[in-house]
Amino acid sequence: MNETQSTATNPLLESSVFPAFDRIRAEHVAPAMRQILNELDVELQLLEAHAQPTWTGLVEPLERLGDRLRVTWGIVGHLMGVKNSEELRRAYEEMQPEIVQFFMRLGQSQTVYQALQKLRNSAAWENCDATQQRIVEVLLRDAELSGVGLQGEKKERFNAIQQELAELSTQFSNHVLDATKAFALTLEDPQDVEGLPTSLLHVAAQAAREAGTPDATVESGPWRITLDYPSFMPFMAHSRRRGLRERLYRASITRASSSDLDNAPLIARILQLRQEMAALLGYGSFAELSLASKMAPDVPTVESFLEELRQASLAAAQQDLEDQRQCAAAAGAPEAAGLRHWDLPFWAERQREQQYDFSEEALRPYFPLPRVLDGLFALARHLFGVRIEAADGDVPIWQEDVRFFRIYDERDQEIAAFYLDPYSRPAEKRGGAWMDECVGRSRLLAPSGQSVRRPVAYLICNQTPPVGDQPSLMSFTELRTLFHEFGHGLHHMLTAVEYGMAAGINNVDWDAVELPSQFMENWCYHRETLLGMSAHVETGEPLPDDLYGKLCAARHYRAGSLMLRQLSFGLIDLALHHHHDPHGTESAFDLQRRLAPLTSVLPPLPEDRFLCGFGHIFAGGYAAGYYSYKWAEVLSADAFAAFEEAGVDDPRAVAAVGRRYRETILALGGSRPPMEIFQAFRGREPATTALLRHAGLAA
């Protein structure tokens, strides 16, 4: 079949808001993307030939151009994350250079850039509303960061760097996925699984069956333990076999660091290219370039912020280690005198069980996913006045476990929709959890018969899958993750902005985008919310009050260690992109070891290569921006404090503050600078007080 014939029935070219996931195949990618690129190239030439320095004559055509390519290529990128295959990888890698090339051509168009400048300097500027003006200002800034001011050899070199970075990012991500799939501990001796919770044994037996041992059972094994989070973390916390914990830990910190999956050379090259790109644009470091489009004003501000939190958490983390040593010693453990990295999760969980008389595993039976979703949607209705209804079967899906939901406002008008892909599938789905756009809200791009195109989101988690006839039983960590991604989804879906370029998460400074997600996590500790979404899988009983009390008492447990861990990621990220010489003798791993004493209570192992799996900064959007998690957590904790001040157990007060939160933080999206939006909600600038109080680290 030639490309001309294949585009006639290509599902990637269909105009529906909901992609034909049941029919999209790898062979559709190249023909569809090439047809779109050809059409958009003609449209861009026409725009450049007739560019008018007006909103309708310039910015609206730009929205159409960018949206069509982002939406279709976004479908392909989405499938790379949730339905990865060799065929899809080849198609993606074939088209990626052409996609990057078009985006660079669009971003570096002198004609478009000059027309935007004319619009900003014209009399028509005063007729643009505040959102339109912010969009134009950001378009100008982004064009400058895309190299619009470069000429000749510098421009050619900049574009070559962009292409190579895109390819390296994809390679990095694929290496991590392949390395995760390649490792497994297959256990056959019942003594090797002593102490493991039943939920993990179910997962491990199911993994063994899927890997080719059809007679694997929970009772007799074999049991397959992997580096996938729902397998790795419970094993590290509960396995009594110290040697097996060590093997799993060493595998995790050396993932994607050897043979043909080694990401170390990619890291070195990525850092070199980023530094060179920053220099071409006139910046002293890639971190300075990164912060040019973020809420934080400069590198010293971020460093000072991270140091404030480090000072607040270091002593607590050191005490956490001493407490675990004492716990191990009291149990007569021979390793008590010298705890190693693979001991900390195990003894931390034993200490939690002793100190608070419960474990995370004890909570699982109370949180079957269907009940959790009911509670989450009830909370959204109470806070924000929206109704969420299941609509499974209404649209095509990419995997049988994927759910689909529609969102309605107070007038029962549909305003948004989302897909939920909840379960871990390590053979084809990358780890972690994320929210992404399917399509965004836009009046300009409204389908026929509608006044606005309604936003649609992808919510992706990697929680414990169902086993047998039982639903997925969620750990508290998995529950918080679901709330987190749902918060991102609300930011995308409850926007009131009708200009696509500033609707939802679009145009939001990167270090503010985590505010709505981390805000939602706070409700996991709210009594009425948590008990309302709990129902024991066998008895239907809600979470007992005493267990809820223990959970809340344990909220501050190891807060210093958990804070310090996040800070370590932020500090190494910033140092690599600001202080590190990628051409010097000190490697990225040397720098990691040099910084370790600042944020680690145990020195890293000599072979530690965790950076080889650090996809956030080498294959995602967090390069020189990982600090954003903590930066936004200050905003989110302070935002939740508004509910606490109003009376978090007063339904009317909560609903009133919730509507104000929706009308500002969620509704305004990227239409205004995030500090302005936060102040519109809170009445003042944010402070770290609430974050440190919530973490139990306040002085």
Question: Among 81-90, 255-264, 462-471, 475-484, which is the least confidently predicted range?
Answer: 462-471
Contact 187, 222 (CB under 8 A): yes
Q: What does the block give as tokens for 525? A: 């500790």
- So what's the pLDDT on residue 1? 43
- So what's the pLDDT on residue 315? 95
pLDDT in tens, 415-449: 999 999 999 998 899 989 999 999 999 999 999 99
In the chain, what are the domain boundaries? 3-149, 183-255, 260-356+559-626, 364-556
- 477 pLDDT exceeds 90? yes
Q: What is the overall mean pLDDT for the chain?
A: 95
Q: Which residue has the tokens 């919530």?
A: 694
Q: How far apart are CA 322 and CA 142, in angstroms?
A: 49
Helix (H, G, I), strand (E, B) or coil at 435: strand
Residue type at 150?
A: L
Residue type at 223?
A: W
The CATH fold of domain 3-149: Neurolysin; domain 3 (1.10.1370)
- Rounded to 5°, the CA angle 390-396-399 comes to 90
Class of domain 364-556 (CATH, top level): mainly alpha
Q: How far apart are CA 134 and CA 117, in angstroms?
A: 13
Tally the C-alpha atoms within 13 A of residue 266's C-alpha that lie toward its C-beta: 30
The hierarchical CATH code for the domain 260-356+559-626 is 1.10.1370.10
- What mean pLDDT do residues 405-418 have? 97
- What mean pLDDT do residues 151-155 have? 97
- So what's the pLDDT on residue 426? 87
Q: Is residue 485 flagged as an active site residue?
A: yes
Q: How far apart are CA 640 and CA 516, in angstroms?
A: 10
Same topology between domain 3-149 and domain 260-356+559-626 = yes
Q: What does the block give as tokens for 457? A: 């989101």
- So what's the pLDDT on residue 5? 45
Q: Which of 360, 437, 485, 633 is catalytic?
A: 485
- So what's the pLDDT on residue 540? 96
- 7 pLDDT exceeds 80? no
Which percentage of the chain shows pLDDT scores above 70? 99
Q: Which residue has the tokens 């519109």?
A: 680
Which percentage of the chain shows pLDDT scores above 90? 93
Q: How far apart are CA 549 and CA 546, in angstroms?
A: 5
CA-based nearest residue to 564, from 307, 298, 236, 250: 307
- 2 pLDDT exceeds 70? no
- So what's the pLDDT on residue 406? 98
Q: What is the DSSP string of 181-250?
A: HH-EEEE-SGGGGTT--HHHHHHHHHHHHHTT-TT-BTTTB-EEEESSHHHHHHHHHH---HHHHHHHHH
Q: How far apart are CA 274 and CA 613, in angstroms?
A: 19
Higher pLDDT, 362 or 539: 539
pLDDT category at 698 given cuts 50, 70, 90 is confident
Question: Among 34-48, 308-322, 348-362, 447-461, which is the least confidently predicted range?
Answer: 348-362
Q: How far apart are CA 208 and CA 376, in angstroms?
A: 33
- 111 pLDDT exceeds 60? yes
Question: To the nearest 10°, the Cα dihedral for 234, 240, 246, 249?
Answer: 10
- So what's the pLDDT on residue 8? 67
